[in-house]
């Protein structure tokens, strides 16, 4: 990721975890590290990282966060600062975030703020974190009133993605990460969209070579976009939000309990496609490729009783809204994303209905 003095490498490859000590040394780090992980990974990936470091003569302390979105709370963050202080973590001690996007976001924010910043290394263990959240420097915890409301841009000094770690991912988490890959394919890279469709079965079977290719392509796109628009100031980075406007609103209207992030984004992409189609922006061939790819993702039905009105009010609270008007990323053709802020409620309701999203109030 080319960001002048904040540039950093993303090392991707099967077995790359074993080279962690050398990679850290290459970034001028050595001796001591603190590993932050979650309760599920403490005996798995985090233990492996710890053993690799210890065998190379490092000393490593381990801090364990709760699993899932709960990790991104003020209470957990406060305990994390306490553990860093107790472990006598110093300004130059690297913090290794070993986990999915939740560990990465919370540990990343702690690294950004503890002693005004200590070196951060991401070792992402979910597909979603390898293709997306570990790259680009967004860190955050949730406020009870809004997700990701308190955070910082803080770039890591190194990202290490070992696709072998992904073999234990449950299918639902795998699909959640694949939704971000489909996003990259539709918004930036039609050739990659065709490749994904051809290799879908291998991806679902967690074939390491296929997963590695996905991580490489997505990481390269994300690195390029972040280098152009590090702080997401309405430039290239907003196109990474394809499918996310409605996706976030669905996640928030269901209190982050019903959909995985990828499932929300899959619904959002389906609606964004219908919006693009409604404006006559896609050819028949483009639409059928996109629909085929989206059809491979799972889009669970929303909970009974969820009202369209609740989703709309979530849209207005979106961080990206301009003067309270939601910004949608549409496609003027595959690989040609465009931001618009003139989608009317009626147009959106129609697109939601066409994409199969049945909520109370979408049928009017
Ligand atoms: N910072 C960013 O740019 C960015 C981008 C996208 C998403 N996010 C954030 O990422 C979070 C979601 O991340 P996630 O989907 O990785 O969720 P997660 O971190 O909660 O991980 C999902 C589940 O998978 C388990 N897990 C992790 N690695 C595993 C492995 N190798 N094998 C088996 N199980 C494993 C975890 O214990 C957890 O239960 C959200 O909070 C979202 O806001 C951040
Ligand atoms: Zn996302």
Is 252 close to ligand 1, i.e. is its CB under 6 Å away? no
Grade residue 364 by pLDDT with cuts at 50, 70 and 90: low
How many whole angstroms separate alpha carbon 286 and alpha carbon 280? 12
Element at 12 (helix H, strand E):
strand 10-12
CA of 41, nearest ligand number: 1
How many whole angstroms separate alpha carbon 68 and alpha carbon 39? 9
Instruction: Classify residue 38 as left (phi > 0), alpha (psi -120 to 50) or beta.
Output: beta
Q: Which residue has the higher pLDDT, 148 or 317?
A: 148
2-16, 104-118, 239-253, 311-325 — which is least confidently predicted? Answer: 311-325
Is 21 close to ligand 1, i.e. is its CB under 6 Å away? no
Q: Which residue has the higher pLDDT, 218 or 326?
A: 218
Torsion angle of the four alpha carbons 227, 273, 172, 216, in this order, in degrees rounded to the nearest 10:
-30
**Contact at 8 Å (CB) between 210 and 166?**
no
Residue 271 Cα to ligand 2 midpoint, Å, equals: 16
Grade residue 361 by pLDDT with cuts at 50, 70 and 90: confident
Q: At what angle do helices 208-228 and 190-198 cross, to 10 degrees?
A: 160
> Ligand 1: which of 1, 97, 126 to mutate, judged by most atoms within 8 Å of the beta carbon?
126
**Residue range 72-85: mean pLDDT, rounded:** 98
Q: Summarize pLDDT for 157-182 with one digit per residue, the tens.
A: 999 999 999 999 999 999 999 999 99
Grade residue 313 by pLDDT with cuts at 50, 70 and 90: confident
CA of 149, nearest ligand number: 1
Element at 294 (helix H, strand E):
helix 284-296
Residue 293 burial class via C-beta count within 10 angstroms: exposed 0-12, middle 13-18, buried 19 and up = buried
How many whole angstroms separate alpha carbon 133 and alpha carbon 201? 24
> Ligand 1: which of 39, 73, 101 to mutate, judged by most atoms within 8 Å of the beta carbon?
101
Grade residue 323 by pLDDT with cuts at 50, 70 and 90: low
Exposure string for 172-206, b = 16+ CB within 10 A, e = fewer: ebbbbbbbbbbbbbbbbbbebbebbeebbeebeeb
Whole-model pTM?
0.96
**Residue range 188-211: mean pLDDT, rounded:** 97
Is 102 close to ligand 1, i.e. is its CB under 6 Å away? yes
> In Å, how far from its chain's centre is CA 157?
18
CA of 128, nearest ligand number: 1
Total residue count of the chain as it appears in this document: 364
Q: What is the mean pLDDT of the chain?
A: 95
177-191, 247-261, 306-320 — which is least confidently predicted? Answer: 306-320
Tell whether the model's pLDDT for residue 362 goes beyond 70. Answer: yes
**Residue range 39-45: mean pLDDT, rounded:** 98
Tell whether the model's pLDDT for residue 316 goes beyond 90. Answer: no
Angle CA 198–277–214, to nearest 5: 30
Is 152 close to ligand 1, i.e. is its CB under 6 Å away? no
Element at 160 (helix H, strand E):
strand 158-161
Residues 6+ apart with CB under 8 A from 131: 177, 180, 181, 184, 214, 215, 218, 219, 222
Residue 296 Cα to ligand 1 midpoint, Å, equals: 21
% of the chain residues with pLDDT over 70: 98
Per-residue pLDDT at 84: 98
User: What is the position in ligand 1's atom list of the atom closest to the CA of 136?
Assistant: 3
């Amino acid at each position: 990721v080319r960001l002048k003095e904040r540039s950093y490498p993303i090392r991707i490859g099967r077995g790359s975890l074993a080279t962690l000590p050398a990679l850290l040394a290459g970034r001028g780090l050595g001796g001591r590290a603190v590993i932050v992980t979650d309760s599920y990974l403490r005996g798995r990936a985090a233990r492996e990282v710890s053993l690799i470091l210890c065998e190379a003569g490092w000393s490593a302390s381990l801090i364990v966060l709760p699993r899932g979105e709960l990790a991104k709370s003020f209470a957990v963050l406060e305990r994390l600062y306490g553990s860093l202080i107790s472990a006598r973590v110093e300004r130059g001690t690297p913090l290794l975030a070993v986990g999915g996007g939740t560990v990465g976001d919370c540990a990343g924010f702690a690294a950004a703020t503890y002693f005004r910043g200590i070196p951060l290394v991401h070792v992402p263990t979910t597909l979603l974190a390898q293709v997306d959240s570990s790259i680009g420097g967004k860190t955050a915890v949730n406020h009870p009133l809004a997700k990701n409301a308190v955070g910082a841009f803080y770039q890591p000094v190194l990202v290490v993605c070992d696709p072998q770690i992904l073999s234990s991912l449950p299918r639902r988490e795998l699909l959640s990460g694949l939704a971000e890959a489909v996003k990259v394919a539709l918004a930036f890279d039609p050739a990659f969209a065709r490749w994904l469709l051809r290799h879908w079965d291998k991806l679902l079977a967690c074939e390491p070579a296929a997963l590695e290719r996905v991580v490489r392509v997505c990481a390269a796109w994300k690195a390029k976009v972040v280098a152009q628009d590090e702080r997401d100031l309405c430039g290239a980075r907003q196109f990474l939000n394809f499918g996310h406007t409605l996706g976030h609103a669905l996640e928030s209207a269901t209190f982050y309990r019903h959909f995985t992030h990828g499932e929300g984004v899959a619904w959002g992409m389906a609606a964004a496609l219908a919006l693009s189609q409604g404006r006559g922006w896609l050819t028949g061939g483009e639409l059928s490729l996109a629909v085929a790819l989206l059809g491979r993702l799972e889009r669970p039905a929303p909970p009974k009783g969820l009202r369209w009105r609740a989703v709309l009010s979530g849209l207005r609270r979106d961080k990206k809204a301009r003067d309270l008007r939601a910004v949608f990323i549409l496609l003027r053709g595959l690989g040609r994303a465009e931001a618009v802020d003139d989608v009317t409620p009626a147009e959106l309701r129609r697109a939601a209905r066409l994409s199969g999203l049945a909520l109370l109030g979408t049928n009017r």
